[in-house]
C-alpha cells in the first residue's frame, strides 16, 4: 500500500460524476457480501484491513483524531409534522429502529448517489420505505460511495453502491457500478421479498443481500430516513 494513499482518497470520493466508481487498491468493502437472490453466503475468514478502514474513515469525514466533520445530513431532523408533501416518520420508519444508530457526514458524491437511489425507488414503486431500506443498505455496504474493484482487498467480486457480485448474477461490472442500474436491481430483488414492507429494515435488507453481517443494516435507519425526508 502506498503510504500517502489515504491523503488522496477523499478527493477521488468527491468526484461529481455519479457514475464514476472508486477503484483504489488497498480499500476494502466495509460490509458483508451482496449475493444473488438464490446464492449462499460464504464464510468470512478475515476482517477489514486496518489501512482500508482508515482510508474510508478519511473519505467519509473522519480525521486522524477520530472527530467527525458535520454536514447537513449528519444530524437528525426528522419529525412527525408533514412538510410540503415530505414523507412522515411513520411512513419512513413504520416499525421503529433497532439498536444503536450510526451517522456519517455526506459529501457531494454520497448525496448524489442517495438522490439516485431515491429517484429509482420512486420509479420502481417501492416508495419512501423502500428508499430508506435502499439507502441504509448502501450506507452499510459502501458508505454511499460507488466503489469499483478494490484490488487485493476487494470482497470477492463485489462492487458498486450495494457491493453486488457479477458472479452471483447481479450484472456485469459496468452495470453494477452504474448507481441507477444497481439501485434498480436492488429494488427489483426487494420487491420479490414477500411482505417486505412489514419486515424490520435489517431483515428486508438481509434477505436481498445475504450478508455475512446481517444485523449491521439496522444502525443506519435513522440517518437514511432523514436523507429520504430531506431529498424526497
Phi, psi of 164 (to 5 degrees): -80, 155
99 occurs within a structural domain: yes
The pLDDT of residue 220 is 98
Bridge partners (DSSP) of residue 164 are 34, 159
pLDDT of residue 214: 80
Number of domains present in the structure of the chain: 1
Which residues, listed in sequence order, are joined to residue 159 by a DSSP beta bridge?
Answer: 164
Give which of 117, 137, 110, 145 is closest to 218, Cα–Cα.
137
Cα gap 134→131, rounded to integer Å: 5
Q: Quick one: pLDDT at residue 22?
A: 61
Q: Is residue 54 part of a domain?
A: yes
The answer to whether the beta carbons of residues 186 and 134 sit under 8 Å apart is yes
- What letters, b where the CB count within 10 A reaches 16 and e where it falls short, cover 213-226? bbebbbbbbbbbbb
Is 112 within 8 Å of 77 (Cβ atoms)? no
Instruction: Please check whether residue 208 lies inside any domain of the structure.
Output: yes
Residue 75 in domain: no
The conformation of residue 29, written as its DSSP 8-state character, comes to: -
From first to last of its 232 residues, the chain has per-residue pLDDT tens of 333 322 323 333 333 344 556 654 334 334 344 545 433 332 222 333 344 444 455 443 444 333 333 344 554 444 444 566 789 999 999 999 999 999 999 999 999 999 999 999 999 999 999 999 999 999 999 999 999 988 777 778 899 999 999 999 999 999 999 999 999 999 999 999 999 999 999 999 999 999 888 889 999 999 999 999 999 9
What is the DSSP track for 92-128? Answer: H-TT---S--------HHHHHHHHHHHHHHHHHT-HH
In a domain, 74, yes or no: no
Distance CA(19)–CA(159), nearest Å, equals 13
Q: What is the pLDDT of residue 73?
A: 54
Q: Name the residue with cell 448507481.
A: 179
Cα angle 21, 24, 27 (rounded to 5 degrees) comes to 110
The cell for 153 is: 482487498
- The pTM (predicted TM-score) of the whole model is 0.71
In the block, residue with C-alpha cell 429502529: 97
Residue at 211 is within a domain: yes
Q: Domain of 62?
A: 5-69+80-231
- Residue 20 confidence (pLDDT): 57
C-alpha to C-alpha distance for 201 and 94, rounded to whole angstroms: 10
Amino acid at each position: 500500500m502506498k503510504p500517502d494513499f489515504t491523503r488522496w482518497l477523499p478527493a477521488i470520493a468527491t468526484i461529481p460524476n455519479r457514475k464514476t466508481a472508486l477503484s483504489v487498491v488497498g480499500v476494502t468493502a466495509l460490509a458483508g457480501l451482496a449475493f444473488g437472490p438464490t446464492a449462499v453466503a460464504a464464510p468470512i475468514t478475515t476482517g477489514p484491513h486496518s489501512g482500508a478502514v482508515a482510508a474510508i474513515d478519511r473519505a467519509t469525514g473522519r480525521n486522524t483524531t477520530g472527530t467527525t466533520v458535520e454536514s447537513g445530513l449528519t444530524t437528525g431532523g426528522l419529525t412527525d409534522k408533514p412538510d410540503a408533501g415530505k414523507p412522515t416518520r411513520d411512513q419512513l420508519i413504520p416499525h421503529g429502529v433497532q439498536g444503536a444508530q450510526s451517522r456519517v457526514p455526506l459529501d457531494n458524491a454520497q448525496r448524489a448517489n442517495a438522490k439516485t437511489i431515491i429517484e429509482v425507488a420512486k420509479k420502481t414503486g417501492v416508495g419512501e420505505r423502500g428508499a430508506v431500506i435502499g439507502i441504509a443498505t448502501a450506507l452499510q455496504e459502501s458508505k454511499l460511495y460507488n466503489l469499483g474493484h478494490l484490488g487485493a482487498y476487494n470482497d470477492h467480486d463485489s462492487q458498486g453502491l450495494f457491493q453486488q457480485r457479477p458472479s452471483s448474477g447481479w450484472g456485469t461490472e459496468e452495470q453494477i457500478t452504474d448507481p441507477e442500474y444497481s439501485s434498480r436491481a436492488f429494488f427489483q430483488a426487494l420487491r420479490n421479498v414477500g411482505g417486505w414492507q412489514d419486515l424490520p429494515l435489517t431483515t428486508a435488507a438481509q434477505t436481498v443481500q445475504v450478508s455475512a453481517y446481517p444485523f449491521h443494516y439496522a444502525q443506519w435507519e435513522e440517518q437514511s430516513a432523514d436523507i429520504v425526508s430531506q431529498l424526497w
